[in-house]
Amino acid sequence: MQHQVKLELMDTHAGGDVSRIVTGGIMRLPGTSVRQQMEFLRDQADGLRRLLLEEPYGIPEMSVDLIVPASHPDADWGYIIMEVMGYPIYSGSNTICTATALLESGLIKKQEGVQTFTLEAPAGLVQIEARIQDGVVEAITCEGLPSYIHTYKASIEVPGIGSVTYSIAYSGGFYALVDAAELGFVLEAPEERALADTAHAIVEAIIAETAFEHYALGNVGPLPFLHFMGPVLQLSDTTYRSRSATYVHPGVICRSTTGTGTSARLALMQYEGLIEPGDSLETVSLRDTRFVGTYTGLANQQGQDVVENRITGRSFVLNRAEVIANEDDAMLSPEVVQSLRVLATNRS
């Protein structure tokens, strides 16, 4: 007997990176926190991620954000982030897209002017500031995770490339930070394929040689990100700009500069003594889309100095859709079908 599953989606993008926001059709997940709900999806029902990021329903360059009820009393809603590399505990662009979708769907009522609310990510509570003008979400500012430099200017031999100098930052995931010019790049759109191939080789070499542990979270898995850094231009006493490109392992160059990539850049600039609290960095992508990161202060957590920061960007709604998955469709793997049977509330 044929069974169908229906999921309600709102596709959005921030800086060109598409986030598919799941607004309906999924049951309430087990777990007493959004982090535990994420772990349930990751360990027991990964087929939802695969369904929406693989053909014929999606492509790996997209992300998926599942809106869930918040578990923390101070949060309005929770959300779980899914990408090609798995389940990051935080993402700036996904947070901007999710906040916009909550407002545009009416799950959070719009208020003209500057509106604040709180979301619960797997990483914890995230404060959101939305700027609404004439009913339009003009900008979202969200907290970046406390970021820091784990490794400064290490070097590694990369097959086919040679010696590469890199730093490692944590900003919600570990990032290898490399100078684009040293690798022959100016960070323009025609370089995208070469950037992906170069980043893949560097990340594979680092993973084979080194593992990184977070000061509080411990082992958070193999290195998932690399960020190409262009020259930093000073625009005023407190503002800077840099072309940038973020790579997600394996194989994806993000269309935006990403929020966590921008936070990682702020951590490096602070480490090198180049910025002060209140200074901001505008990162510019291969497609000339932009995020602005602001360094808000330095804190100490469990003996580790961390850079507190905010990320500002804008998200646009692309479409509202109902995805229909037929369980007897040969394009759906048994894992995907089993996950849908566990998760779906609308199965007929």
H/E run at residue 170: strand 162-170
Burial class from Cβ neighbours inside 10 Å (0-12, 13-18, 19+) for residue 313 reads buried
Q: 155 catalytic, yes or no?
A: no
Give how far Cα 294 sits from Cα of 167, 190, 234, Å: 21, 29, 14
Tell me the H-state helices in the chain.
34-44, 47-53, 92-105, 192-209, 259-271, 334-343
Handedness of CA 139, 286, 269, 81 (dihedral sign): positive
Give CA–CA dist 216/214, Å, rounded: 5
Q: Is the peptide bond before 146 cis (omega within 30 degrees of 0)?
A: no
Residue type, 269: M
Q: Is the peptide bond before 56 cis (omega within 30 degrees of 0)?
A: yes
Catalytic pick among 19, 33, 63, 91: 91
Q: Are the CB atoms for 94 and 65 separated by under 8 Å?
A: yes
Q: Residue 86 forms beta bridges with which residues?
A: 83
Q: Which residues are known catalytic residues?
A: 91
